[in-house]
Structure 1
Amino acid sequence: MLKGKTALITGTNRGIGKALVEEFACSGADIIAHARRETPEFMQICEGIRAEYGVKVTPLFFDMLDSEAMKNAVRGLISSKTPVNVLINNAGAAHGGLFQMTSMTQIRKVFDINLFSHMELTQHLLRYMAKWGEACVINMGSVLGLDMPRGSCAYGLSKAALMAFTRTLAAECAPLGIRVNALAPGLVDTQMADLMEEEAEKAMMNQCALKRRATPREIGRAAVFLASAESSFINGQILRVDGGKA
């Protein structure tokens, strides 16, 4: 579905990000796999995916909160004329806690990672992406940013803002030939979900009609759909991938 395309995916060292790399590679896309730092384990993952699917997997390293490092990474892509047809803003930080128990410093940090860093990266790349023809941006939201249960004052609110950004950016980028959509996963079987308080996980599971966590690759397949020609008239939308409401 994506042969001839190149996808830049942030936060790919584990969980949903790693599954995104696998699903996009399986669909024929070349990958620019972002991580905060280089490790032997990450390089081994990239090499394994490259060998299994016969696509290019190019590691890209920078801290999402380091503006200068981000700029330098984007300059490197542009100077090497590496195409970017798909941008997936996936990197993020989890947080749960009641508003009165959460410092403003912590809330700002979550917003910096989950919202502002992605806005900055997207801003650096949009004009460059437009040069390669039809392109798309996919933001990784969350059902917590749609339903906003208690304890969502940082993580859920940052995801709500990212999904609102999706809608306004879609209207602005349509004339450039760039579609912008977001995914809103429910509970996914990742290390991040393992860190949830038992009560919060139980509440999400009770609300899920399928009564299970999603696999990371199920989220990856939804992203492949949004990046493909099969969704060519879908723009400015938030796609829930949550197993349905009980």
Structure 2
Amino acid sequence: MKLEGKVVIITGGAGGIGKETSLLFASEGAHVVVADYNKELAEATASEVDGFGVEVDVTKRAQVNRMVEDVIARYGRIDILLNNAGITMDSTLVKMSQEQWDNVIAINQTGVFHCTQAVVPHMIEAGFGRIINTSSIVGRMGNFGQTNYAATKAAVIAMTQTWAKELGRKGINVNAVAPGFIMTPMTEKMPEQVLQGMKEKVSLQRLGTPRDIANTFLFLASNDSSYINGAVIPVDGGLSI
């Protein structure tokens, strides 16, 4: 198994791509910490993977610190951090409210900073770590109505590459995944004509699945990617080419 005995924190780990990744990592032998804003969902997913469910708001540094302390107390170390928590609050530039801007920045960008800064000292002490950040193709391409979301995903790319430079010498690999159009419970509610239009933009002519993203996370978390650092891997079916 690729992650035998590894301790993994997955933020936003209770639903969608996060849940799929929690299930996959557990099947590969990891001790999975399912960290999510929704306590009930975190605990439910954790029970499925024989893991540890934690309620955490990544915008609150005190809660993040407490989560890290609890994980260290339970397992003694943290090997892998997957920063996957994120939200969208879409609007065009002229209509976007301050609240929409602030909320998306707080979770998608500041939350990644909080979690990584809290975990990294333990990885440095161990001389080993894997940090995986969830970006998006819109972080490089932009997208209509997503000024806030695109800005955060571009920031995640910049943070990933900066941390790779800073932490590589400490034995810590930092990489990012940039998903394209992924079929989730949210997209499943879209009208069929909208979904068809999305598919037609993708050279593979289909939407991705949560497992497509989870498989890439697994690659980056495992020893198979030991010489990859500072990469941003698009998983978009060719949408961004």
TM-score by length of 2: 0.91
Q: What is the CA–CA distance in structure 2 between the aligned matches of 1:165 and 1:203, rounded to whole Å?
A: 32
Provide closer, same or farther for how the CA distance between residues 196 and 87 of structure 1 changes in structure 2, counting only shifts above 3 A. Answer: farther
Q: What is the CA–CA distance in structure 2 between the aligned matches of 1:79 and 1:49, rounded to whole Å?
A: 20
Say which SS state the counterpart of residue 63 (structure 1) adopts: coil
Instruction: Note the C-alpha offset of 1:230.
Output: 0.8
Q: Is the contact made by 1:15 and 1:191 (CA closer than 8 Å) also made in structure 2?
A: yes
- Aligned pairs for 1:35-114 (under 5 A) are 35-39=36-40, 42-50=42-50, 57-80=51-74, 82-114=76-108
Say which SS state the counterpart of residue 127 (structure 2) adopts: coil
Instruction: Note the C-alpha offset of 1:97.
Output: 2.0
Equivalent residue number for residue 237 of structure 1 = 231
Output the amino acid matched with 1:25.
Answer: A
Q: Is the contact made by 1:94 and 1:192 (CA closer than 8 Å) also made in structure 2?
A: no
Instruction: Note the C-alpha offset of 1:129.
Output: 1.7
Say whether residues 1:147 and 2:141 are aligned partners. yes
| Aligned partner of 2:185 among 161, 179, 191 | 191
Say which SS state the counterpart of residue 47 (structure 2) adopts: helix
Instruction: Note the C-alpha offset of 1:73.
Output: 1.8
Equivalent residue number for residue 53 of structure 1 = none
What value does the CA root-mean-square deviation take over the aligned residues?
2.1
Output the amino acid matched with 1:47.
Answer: S
Say which SS state the counterpart of residue 87 (structure 1) adopts: strand
Output the amino acid matched with 2:43.
Answer: M
Instruction: Note the C-alpha offset of 1:196.
Output: 6.3
Q: What is the CA–CA distance in structure 2 between the aligned matches of 1:101 and 1:195, rounded to whole Å?
A: 24
Instruction: Note the C-alpha offset of 1:204.
Output: 3.7
Moved over 6 A (4+): 195-200
My pick for the range that moved more, 166-175 or 126-135, is 126-135
How big is each residue's C-alpha offset from its partner over 1:185-221, in whole Å with a ceiling of 9 and x where there is no partner? Answer: 1111113434668887555432211122111111101
Q: What is the CA–CA distance in structure 1 between the aligned matches of 2:194 and 2:102, rounded to whole Å?
A: 23
Say whether residues 1:216 and 2:210 are aligned partners. yes
Output the amino acid matched with 1:127.
Answer: P
Instruction: Note the C-alpha offset of 1:36.
Output: 1.6
Equivalent residue number for residue 20 of structure 1 = 21
Q: Is the contact made by 2:56 and 2:63 (CA closer than 8 Å) also made in structure 1?
A: yes
Provide closer, same or farther for how the CA distance between residues 177 and 185 of structure 1 changes in structure 2, counting only shifts above 3 A. Answer: same
